[in-house]
Amino acid sequence: MRTRLALLAGGLAAFAVTASPAFAQKQGGTLRISHRDNPPSASIHEESTISVVQPFMAVFNNLVVFDPKEKINSPDKIVPDLAESWAYNPSQTELTFKLRSGVKWHDGKPFTAKDVKCTWDALAGKADEKSDLIRKNPRRVWYSNLKEVKVGSDTEVTFVLDRPQPSFLSILAAGYSPVYACHAQGRDMRSKPIGTGPFKVVDFKRNESIKLVRNPDYWKKGRPYLDAIDWKIVPNRSTRMLGFVAGEFDMTFDSDVTFPLLEDIKKQKPDAVCEARPSNVNQNILINPEAPPFDKPEVRRALVLSIDQKPFNDILFQGNALSGAAMLPPPAGFWGMPKEMLQTLPGFSADIEKSRAEARKIMEGLGYSKDKPLKVKVSTRNIAIYRDPAVILIDQLKNAYIEAELDPIDTTVWYTKVQRKDYQLGMNLTGLGVDDPDTAFYENFYSTSDRNYTSYKNPEIDKLIDQQSAETDREKRKKIVWEIEKKLAEDGARPVIVHNVAATCWTPQLKGVVLQHNSIYNGWRFEDMWLDR
Amino acid sequence: MGAYLTRRFLLMVLTLFGMSVLIFVMLRLVPGNVADILVDSAGIADPKEKAKIIAELGLDRPIFDQYLQWIGGLTRGDLGFAYVSERPAIEEIAPRIPISAKLAGLALFFSVILGVPLGVISAVRQNTGLDYMLRVISLSGLSLPSFWLGLLILMASVQWFGMIPIYTNEPRSFIDEMLLLSIPAAAVGFRSSALIMRLTRSSMLEVLRQDYIRTARSKGASQTSVNYEHALRNALLPVVTIVGIEAAFLVGGLIVTETVFNIPGVARFLVEAILWRDYPIVQNLVMLIAFVVVTVNFLVDMAYMALDPRIKFAD
């Protein structure tokens, strides 16, 4: 009996300890974070970088969000934000949201359904000509199925779709999908935005800092816990890491800590909490199919067959990166294909020597040899994270009689060059805002997408992309997704090398951090984090 | 003297005008404009969006009109709008100038305060152990890259003192700021002081061999008086030139130090603005640096006159 009582008491004590964080959050304190570079602007809808989303997501709210307590973004784990509830019509083409009432923008004006309409009209390219809410729209393709947004009342709004699109709710739950204030000017949204979120922007000093303070009128009572968030822009990575070790910063920038740096940090600051996770950013090769020599499918295939992912992984990630096709592989990825299936794709074979022998045979058939190699240029942004894999690629291409030369491009004109198709091969990084095939395929492989950098055109793939997008049975959808991944790999459309894994560290005094494992762009609301000091 | 000053003033104005044309034209010769880069940063290259931004910023207007608008504004104290932050350029530039000026001033102070006396000592103790030691120190000052020295200082501070002397919070007082800036200033000043020390040494050695020094000694002047009153004053002319050049360099050339120590100064901002082709920021900052260089040159010329009474500026 005594033993049982002791066990019960122990169990209760353990429960109290594990459950206590829910009751023990402390209010107050300023969270200090280092930022890796200068965000191009503060307008999330206009940019495509974590440099903007991580600091500014806390200023806004979405209609819905991926559950911030869950590590994996899943369509089954979407929770209300500015919308209290939502429902589809029977044909799944109308998604109606019931909105919270009494929510105010940071300037005191009320939030209504008109703001929702205004935001998505602008994103779908249907806004008034005079509207200047956004001037760049990198994710227009996300809303190509959005027919219109109808305002039912101040607290009801309906998204009308051309056809059913099960991913639509996930898209709205992304960090890239905040609701903007209709009455705001685009210029203000880029420099000192207003939102309905837990933090207000005090100041955004270019090249220096971003200061956010607690929104005392936040609609979620008791949140946020922090008084302020102080971002310091520190372009030098060594300085950022030393600053974290010295206690100048409470948290590193997301995925800023590479594996060699992780070892240093653990040595110098043993109490640091560090978590390595996939970022859903993959390294891939852009192949220009419109110009020789890669206009020939055989050359593209030989290139793909010559690649061995292991050295990339070992050199750049100490063996921690993930092998996958266009979608992030499981278990972090929701849609990636199983390993056995992956190994049947070109470029993923376990027998690399056999693949390379096949590549050489193809190239010999085209008249190339060791003495008469195919000479090409590998273009890439002139920054280390792009240049390093490009150098490894150049080394590997020799196995298929391809002699490549590095062509480093000023990072500011990279996409302009890519759009002009002024390259043969390009080393590229692609990040996914939402772990969903719709964002991956429509953005990168659909024939009409602005961000289909290689202008890959395959009517069969377009049809399959549309088909999977409308498929409401998730298992059936997965099968179509895998078929698309297989065809893309066979076509040599942006062959994926590895899916990146990197670490983020924070001080043990910072609590409530939940890093999401299938996208770095979500989960940065900061409203549940608190400082225990 | 009056005519000389007028001539110098006109020359300064002419130099600044030439600089303005050069900056304006050269910036536009660099491939890519701000619209390319703004659109590029979003990972797209939509020509329509690009054209809209170009029109919004007035970059589709004739280049001569754009130049006149900039110069006209400059004369009225209106520096225009920064393209990237969309704020008045003056608001972006003004807070950064005092930070860089203080850092440069402090670095220059360190370099002169160390470089000149050590140069004199090295010269008067030529070929002694002390001279060799000072020459080795000055050589290492010239050889050590400042980013490496900066990082070394940061690492040592973290390792030994558990703190990092970087500019993360706005200092609460002038003293705080000077203390914070003193470490990066010392890192920069070390290189400059090495340069000044070597120049002072060679200049002093030359002067110490002159007849008038021998005369001073034969008249019974003390060693200190010979070194500092007779020799140093004449040896300082080339040193003043190099101090002037260093001062001009330090205003815009502290990019590495500002990056490593995370100082939100002019140099780091200028490089960022060039990368973004933020013309109003780059044009105005380069003009400011040009103005400082021209003014320092003028002051150096004036200093020659004060140091060497034989120098006269003929009308």
Contact residues, chain A to chain B, C-beta under 8 Å: 32, 38, 40-41, 46-49, 135-138, 187, 190-191, 205-209, 232, 234-236, 238-239, 242-243, 245-249, 268, 410, 412-416, 418-419, 450-451
Q: State residue B315's pLDDT score.
A: 54
With an 8 Å Cβ cutoff, are B164 and A208 in contact?
no
- When pLDDT is averaged across residues B135-148 and rounded to a whole number, the result is 88
pTM of the model as a whole = 0.87
Question: Residue A207 contacts by C-beta under 8 Å, 6 or more apart in sequence?
Answer: A38, A233, B264, B268, B269, B272
Each residue's pLDDT tens digit, B228-278: 888 888 888 888 888 888 887 887 678 888 989 999 999 989 988 998 889
Give whole-number Cα distances, A168 to A49, A144, A229, B65, in Å. 21, 11, 31, 48
Q: Where are the alpha helices (DSSP H) in B58-173?
A: 63-75, 89-93, 96-124, 129-143, 146-156
Give whole-number Cα distances, B90 to A511, B186, B293, in Å. 41, 30, 20
Q: Select from B184, B165, B164 the least CA-distant residue to B110.
A: B184
B229 and A CB contact within 8 Å: no
Asked whether residue B36 carries a pLDDT value surpassing 90, the answer given is no
Minimal Cα–Cα distance from B85 to chain A, Å? 6
The more confident residue out of B308 and B180 is B180
User: How is A83-104 classified by DSSP, letter by letter?
Assistant: EEEEEE-TTS-EEEEEEPSS-B
Minimal Cα–Cα distance from A246 to chain B, Å? 5
Phi, psi (degrees; rounded to nearest 5) at B57: -90, -5
Question: Residue A317 contacts by C-beta under 8 Å, 6 or more apart in sequence?
Answer: A258, A259, A498, A500, A501
Three-state SS string over B296-308 comes to HHHHHHHHHHHHC
Q: Is A472 helix (H, G, I), strand (E, B) or coil?
A: coil
Chain B residues near residue A136 by CB distance under 8 angstroms? 38-39, 42, 44, 46, 49, 53
Q: State residue B314's pLDDT score.
A: 59
Q: Which helix (H) or strand (E) holds B263?
A: none
Minimal Cα–Cα distance from B106 to chain A, Å? 22
Q: State residue B42's pLDDT score.
A: 79
Q: What is the pLDDT along chain A (533 residues), one digit of tens a residue?
A: 444 444 444 444 444 444 444 458 999 999 999 999 889 999 999 998 899 999 999 999 999 999 999 999 999 999 999 999 999 999 999 999 999 999 999 999 999 999 999 999 999 988 877 778 998 898 989 999 999 999 999 999 999 999 999 999 999 999 999 999 999 999 999 999 999 999 999 999 988 999 999 999 999 999 999 999 999 999 889 999 999 999 999 999 999 999 999 999 999 999 999 999 999 999 999 999 888 999 999 999 999 999 999 999 999 999 999 999 999 999 999 999 999 999 999 888 889 999 999 999 999 999 999 999 999 999 998 888 899 999 999 999 999 999 999 999 877 778 778 888 899 999 999 999 999 999 999 999 999 887 888 889 999 999 999 999 999 999 999 999 999 999 999 888 999 999 999 999 999 999 999 999 999 999 999 999 999 98
B48 and A CB contact within 8 Å: no
**Which bin fits A247, alpha (ψ -120 to 50), beta or left (φ > 0)?**
left
The CA distance from B9 to A369, in Å, is 69
* Preferred mutation among B30, B161, B164 to probe A, highest tally of A CBs within 10 A: B164
Spell out a b/e string for A346-360, using b for 16 or more CB atoms within 10 Å of the CB, else e. Answer: bbbbeebeebbebbb
Spell out a b/e string for A228-261, using b for 16 or more CB atoms within 10 Å of the CB, else e. Answer: bbbbbbbbbbebbbbbbbbebbbbbbbbbbbbeb
Instruction: Report the residue of chain A nearest B95, measured CA to CA.
Output: A205
- A224 prior amide bond cis, ω within 30: yes
Chain A residues near residue B163 by CB distance under 8 angstroms? 246-248
The CA distance from B140 to A458, in Å, is 62
The encoded tokens of residue B292 equal 């400082």
Each residue's pLDDT tens digit, B92-121: 999 999 999 999 999 999 999 999 999 999
With an 8 Å Cβ cutoff, are B260 and A190 in contact?
no
With an 8 Å Cβ cutoff, are B42 and A236 in contact?
no
Minimal Cα–Cα distance from A233 to chain B, Å? 8
Q: State residue A4's pLDDT score.
A: 45
The more confident residue out of B36 and A333 is A333
Q: Select from B291, B247, B224, B4 the least CA-distant residue to B105.
A: B247
B45 and A CB contact within 8 Å: yes
* Closest Cβ–Cβ partner in A137, A138, A187 for B86: A187
Rg for chain B, CA atoms, rounded: 24
Contact call for residues A393 and A427 (beta carbons, < 8 A) = yes
Q: State residue A53's pLDDT score.
A: 97
Q: Which helix (H) or strand (E) holds A406?
A: strand A402-409
With an 8 Å Cβ cutoff, are A413 and B86 in contact?
no
* Closest Cβ–Cβ partner in A137, A205, A415 for B45: A415
Three-state SS string over A326-352 comes to CCCCCCCCCCCCCHHHHCCCCCCCCCH
Chain A residues near residue B276 by CB distance under 8 angstroms? 412
B187 and A CB contact within 8 Å: no
Q: State residue B313's pLDDT score.
A: 63
With an 8 Å Cβ cutoff, are B42 and A40 in contact?
yes
The encoded tokens of residue B106 equal 């402090």
The CA distance from A405 to A398, in Å, is 11
The CA distance from A166 to A163, in Å, is 10
